[in-house]
Amino acid sequence: MNAMSGINTTDERRSPGDAQAPGLARLRRIELEALYHVGEILSRSLDFRSTSREVLRVLDEQAGMSRSMVTVVDPESGDLVINAVSVEDDADHSGHASVRYQSGEGLLGLILDEKRTIALSRTGDDPRFLDRLGLYDRRLPFIAAPISLGGSLRGVLAVQPNTPDDGLLEERTRFVEMVANLIGQSVRLSLDIEAEKKDLAEERDSLRRTVRHQYGFDNIIGRSAVMRRVFDQVRLVSRWNTTVLLRGETGTGKELIANAIHYHSPRSSGAYVRLNCASLPENLLESELFGHEKGAFTGAVAARRGRFEAADGGTIFLDEIGEISPAFQAKLLRVLQEGELERVGGGRTLKVDVRVIAATHRDLEAAVDSGDFREDLYYRLNVMPIMLPPLRERPEDIPEIASFLVNRLGEQQGRRLSLAGSAIRCLSQYNWPGNVRELENCLERAAVMSESGHIGAELIHLDRQREALVPGGSGFAVPAFSAGAPAMVMPSAASGFSPSNLNDPDLDERTRVIAALEQAGWVQARAARLLGMTPRQIAYRILTLNIEVRKI
């Protein structure tokens, strides 16, 4: 034989003569059709075990080889183990998975050593035949061909024709070798895909670790008591799917906190989708969040899924949630309540499983009172509010934040930057109406102006006019998140406050609210009237300013 080494323990193999020519032609037609179906099966799927079973089924039904099996080399032990058997669904053959063939053990072990095809005209005539599976008829022929890949043995295809040797054993052996070669190509493709999957999985895990570290708590600077409380809240809420509402002035790091919540949650492996609600007009915002169908509006040339669909199974971060219109608020409420949405121009209801983190710098309580924000949406969002303090209320964090920003600027500029003590003192004495964003801009400007890389106080340029608009360190829509202030510091009636000096510009927000409560006998509705607020607004101030209500 050419590509085959035969082991014949009976009579010398016969060459097909003229009388056998019709049988040979018929056999080749059958084999050609079977090869076509084998190739079709192997091209359909990369699941090697399932395709092996399908190939053996074709050999049984079309090629007259009902007792077949595929073995593969175990990469750890080097043994041949059963991958698929043509009758493995039978109850009597449930233990095939435990059968192994070691080097030199039986005919399959011989192939493991010599990597050559074996063909027997009568199976039972070779004493090395083990038949551990109890499948084979010892009176019939047996053919086993190596499944090779790049000169390396990957497995063995073993078959048994259903009829005694009719002089066409050599032709059948070539057919089995062709099937084994096709299987080998499938193995190669399957191994390439598995290696690629493994590389992608490793890269994915590496990126996840990098992202988790990048968005971890260690990269959010803050050792002050108020920030430690924020971190504690974030760690607690990250474990669950609770809706989170981040409150605070612009530039206080709401997006950093949202990132940390997602990447430390059980949904961290899911999608994380972000959208600034103030960046789009209402008609585009609806399409962006909910998606649209083809032809829904001019320019909708194809259907498009929205951000909520993209975030299914993960988290969506809606920044500046307080800027959406009342009409759109009703549509958003349905998604939050029911987990259902409809694309623009579509009538099909879609279910989504999305964890929502929202953020705003607005006073939502005042917006509810004025009718600009739906009360039901407010309560749906305000499940777990987290107040982020402005920078001026945690001045002890400024030196560390400034050093972190200067080091990052140095990496971006490709040089070493240093910050003088006088510059740090100057930074610590400023109220920072723009918070960390303003601090970063100030330091970048100073770094650009420094030729030596040393940043001194003379390079720190602060917007004192802007600072003057923030009396006592407040004056924004969310005036003062003073969660870090001592809870029991309250002026008494002897402090000398009177209704006439509640409008004193030198009073900070907390002191003014406490003074009004003192004068109103700690009746919140009366104190609200003194300050020109609604009861809801003063209740919000008491919560965010961490004022302990006195019982009188």
What domain range is 426 assigned to? Answer: 391-471
Task: Determine the pLDDT at residue 347.
Answer: 82
Span 75-88, pLDDT tens digits = 778 888 888 888 65
- 214 within a domain of the structure (yes/no): no
- Residue 376 shares a structural domain with residue 404: no
Residue 528 has pLDDT above 80, yes or no: yes
Higher pLDDT, 426 or 483: 426
CB 80 within 8 A of CB 110: no
Task: Determine the pLDDT at residue 165.
Answer: 87
Question: How far apart (Å, rounded) are the C-alpha atoms in residues 354 and 289?
Answer: 12
Which of 419, 464, 422 minimizes the C-alpha distance to 446? 419
- 167 within a domain of the structure (yes/no): yes
- 513 within a domain of the structure (yes/no): yes
Question: Where a domain ends, among 384, 409, 440?
Answer: 384
Task: Determine the pLDDT at residue 473.
Answer: 41
Sign of the CA dihedral running 283, 284, 287, 293: positive
- Residue 409 shares a structural domain with residue 366: no
> What are the tokens at 123?
């199976």
Task: Determine the pLDDT at residue 87.
Answer: 64
- 534 within a domain of the structure (yes/no): yes
Of 188-192, 246-250, 416-420, 421-425, the range with the lowest mean pLDDT is 188-192
Q: What is the mean pLDDT of residues 187-210?
A: 73
- 57 within a domain of the structure (yes/no): yes
Place of tokens 């949405």: 341
> Considering just the CA atoms, what is the radius of gyration of the chain in Å?
38
The crossing angle, in degrees rounded to 10, of helices 435-449 and 398-413 is: 50
- 207 within a domain of the structure (yes/no): no
- 365 within a domain of the structure (yes/no): yes
The DSSP secondary structure of 18-29, one letter per residue, reads GGGHHHHHHHHH
- 479 within a domain of the structure (yes/no): no
- Residue 337 shares a structural domain with residue 370: yes
CB-CB neighbours of 219 under 10 Å: 12
Q: What is the distance in angstroms between the CA of the first residue and the CA of the last residue of the chain?
A: 108
- Residue 467 shares a structural domain with residue 489: no
- Entry pTM: 0.55
- Residue 316 shares a structural domain with residue 378: yes
- Residue 439 shares a structural domain with residue 519: no
Residue 94 has pLDDT above 70, yes or no: no
CB within 8 Å of 352: residues ≥ 6 apart: 308, 309, 311, 312, 335, 339, 340, 341
Question: How far apart (Å, rounded) are the C-alpha atoms in residues 340 and 282?
Answer: 19
> What are the tokens at 135?
């499948």
Question: Where a domain ends, among 362, 384, 406?
Answer: 384
Here the CATH number for the domain that contains residue 35 is: 3.30.450.40
Pairing of strands 315-319, 355-360: parallel
Question: Where a domain ends, among 333, 354, 384?
Answer: 384
Here the CATH number for the domain that contains residue 238 is: 3.40.50.300
Span 129-176, pLDDT tens digits = 888 888 888 899 999 899 887 778 888 898 999 889 888 889 899 999
Residue 179 has pLDDT above 80, yes or no: yes
CB 212 within 8 A of CB 268: yes
Task: Determine the pLDDT at residue 16.
Answer: 46
- Residue 400 shares a structural domain with residue 505: no
Question: How far apart (Å, rounded) are the C-alpha atoms in residues 7 and 4?
Answer: 10
- Residue 316 shares a structural domain with residue 364: yes
- Residue 82 shares a structural domain with residue 47: yes
CB-CB neighbours of 414 under 10 Å: 6
Question: How far apart (Å, rounded) are the C-alpha atoms in residues 270 and 475?
Answer: 39
Q: What is the mean pLDDT of residues 513-539?
A: 84
Question: How far apart (Å, rounded) are the C-alpha atoms in residues 549 and 552?
Answer: 10
* pLDDT band with cut points at 50, 70 and 90 for residue 13: very low
* pLDDT band with cut points at 50, 70 and 90 for residue 233: very high
How many structural domains compose the chain?
Answer: 4
